[in-house]
A and B are shown apart, each in its own frame.
Chain A
Amino acid sequence: EAQVTQNPRYLITVTGKKLTVTCSQNMNHEYMSWYRQDPGLGLRQIYYSMNVEVTDKGDVPEGYKVSRKEKRNFPLILESPSPNQTSLYFCASTLQGSTDTQYFGPGTRLTVL
């Protein structure tokens, strides 16, 4: 089944404790992206990747890192999480950029205390 998976689905952590949210897709898509969603703000793009080892900043990259060492995986790294990073996070992949259908993962609800 074609899908995007994220882990963990739920995470409660404390300020400053490094964490990684994994994202994996099995559709051989070139493009992957991370979004955060906060009430009343819709989805905001954090980082995106157009291919292996090619990443770029979205609208809200501060406080986040990503890596794309292989095509199927695109982890989101929070080196020193802060409470303002409490949010719902979505990973997405697409075959050919923003004109193509984006397939979203189930989401990761992160709480930073």
Chain B
Amino acid sequence: LAKTTQPISMDSYEGQEVNITCSHNNIATNDYITWYQQFPSQGPRFIIQGYKTKVTNEVASLFIPADRKSSTLSLPRVSLSDTAVYYCLVGDVTGGFKTIFGAGTRLFVKA
């Protein structure tokens, strides 16, 4: 399983765009990149998943460069309610269900 590295914490202000980068240098060909959001004392919640280039949904965008050794989660115009921990995961279906979450990035959005 590919290990991931993220910044421990980030601060932002309401209305700004936030970009959180995850490094996964040992990503394998079959690996997908998935991001989760977790609020205090709640289980993580799926945000977005991608394999390459760019993926966008109603919540976020995910940018993956050609070498796939990193990925960037982009949250447009954050609000106070986006304050949470964000986890980047790398995994593939052939690896079964073994999952490594890592410590995540704590995003704090200020008014």
What is the interface of chain A, defined by CB distance below 8 A to chain B? 4, 31, 33, 35, 40-45, 48-50, 56, 58-59, 88, 90, 92, 94, 96-107, 109
Question: Is B93 in the interface zone, CB < 8 Å from A?
Answer: yes
List the count of A-B residue pairs having beta carbons below 8 Å apart. Answer: 82
> Is the Cβ of A92 less than 8 Å from the Cβ of B32?
no
Interface of A is mostly: strand
Q: Is the CB of A107 within 8 A of B41?
A: yes
| 19 examples of A-B residue contacts, CB within 8 angstroms | A31-B97, A33-B97, A40-B103, A42-B101, A42-B102, A43-B44, A58-B98, A96-B93, A97-B95, A98-B92, A98-B93, A98-B95, A98-B96, A98-B97, A100-B93, A101-B34, A102-B36, A105-B43, A109-B41
Residues 12-42 (chain B) with a chain A CB within 8 angstroms: 32, 34, 36, 41-42
Q: Could you tell me the distance between the alpha carbons of A44 and B89 in the complex, rounded to whole angstroms?
A: 12
Query: Are A59 and B100 within 8 A (Cβ)?
Result: yes
- Chain B contact patch, size range: 20 to 34
Q: Closest residue of chain A to B6, judged by CB?
A: A42
CB distance from A54 to the nearest CB of B (A): 9
Interface centre among B41, B97, B104 (most CB of A within 10 A): B97
A18–chain B nearest beta-carbon distance, Å: 25
Instruction: Find out whether the CB atom of B46 lies under 8 angstroms from the CB atom of A102.
Output: yes
Shortest CB–CB separation between residue A68 and chain B, in angstroms? 12
Tell me the smallest distance from the CB of B62 to a CB of chain A, in Å: 14
Q: How far is the CB of B2 from chain A (nearest CB, A)?
A: 11
Minimal Cβ-Cβ distance residue in A for B8: A40
Residues of A within 8 A of B93 (CB): 96-100
